[in-house]
């Protein structure tokens, strides 16, 4: 409900500094907040990797940005990075692919998320909210962290990791994070796994885990 009381004090068209030469990754970049973030960063000179699963959606997103900002067309500063956050193996592979291509990383924006959805155990045995919103992002970030730290040593550096979260973390499920079985708890009795309440609990749990990760590890980059 904060939007009822807030006012716009930040104008991205004017307040974002020149980002020429900077390299940025945005997860979940093909739609919504992620797509608009990509557009603004690219407009200000950055080379931006759109980290998402679907090549078709990434290509469409790039075309959309280039249509809105024609000056970006042909500059090769918008690049798809295949990323499936439901698998820690695939998340690590995506990060390693990026590391094979680039020698700096200035900003990592962890924006992607599985929203309120039905109860599903993913291919690696983890409930998908936890897999996508926490485990996948954790492995992706940790694999990229050495390069972020190296980039931070440069004179022109202003390195940071941005974690997009939600107030849903204030209302998590009842897990104690003690085991995979607890993390896979549907937060409701059999037959009630997909009520609005149980979906919100699972989503809230994954967002709380994201808060923990941000508080413990990520703050070491931006000084």
Q: Is-contact 26 109, C-beta < 8 A?
A: yes
Q: Is-contact 72 78, C-beta < 8 A?
A: yes
Find the DSSP H helices in the chain: 12-15, 32-43, 55-68, 88-101, 128-130, 137-152, 180-183, 196-216
Q: Is-contact 47 23, C-beta < 8 A?
A: yes
CA–CA dist 113, 22 (Å, integer): 25
Per annotation, catalytic residue among 10, 49, 169, 203: 203
Beta-bridge mates of residue 121 = 127
Residues 6 or more apart from 125 whose CB is under 8 A from it? Answer: 180, 184
CA–CA dist 41, 133 (Å, integer): 23
- Write phi, then psi, for 62 (nearest 5 degrees): -60, -45
Q: Is-contact 81 98, C-beta < 8 A?
A: yes
Is 203 catalytic? The answer is: yes
Question: Catalytic site residues?
Answer: 203
């Amino acid at each position: 409900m904060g939007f009822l009381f807030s006012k716009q004090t930040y104008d991205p068209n004017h307040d974002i500094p020149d980002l020429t030469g900077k390299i940025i990754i945005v997860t979940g970049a093909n739609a919504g907040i992620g797509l608009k973030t990509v557009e603004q960063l690219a407009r200000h000179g950055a080379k931006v990797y759109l980290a998402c699963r679907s090549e078709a959606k990434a290509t469409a997103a790039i075309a959309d940005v280039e249509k809105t900002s024609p000056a970006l067309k042909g500059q090769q500063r918008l690049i798809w990075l295949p990323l499936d956050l439901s698998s820690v193996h695939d998340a690590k592979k995506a990060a390693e692919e990026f590391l094979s291509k680039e020698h700096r990383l200035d900003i990592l924006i962890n924006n992607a998320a599985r929203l309120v959805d039905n109860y599903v155990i993913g291919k690696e045995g983890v409930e998908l909210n936890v897999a996508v919103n926490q485990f996948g992002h954790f492995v992706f970030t940790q694999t990229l962290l050495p390069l972020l730290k190296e980039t931070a040593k440069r004179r022109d550096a202003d390195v940071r990791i941005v974690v997009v979260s939600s107030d849903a973390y204030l209302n998590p499920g009842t897990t104690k994070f003690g085991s995979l079985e607890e993390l896979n708890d549907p937060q409701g009795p059999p037959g009630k796994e997909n009520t609005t309440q149980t979906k919100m609990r699972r989503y809230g749990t994954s967002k709380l885990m994201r808060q923990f990760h941000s508080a413990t590890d990520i703050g070491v980059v931006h000084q």
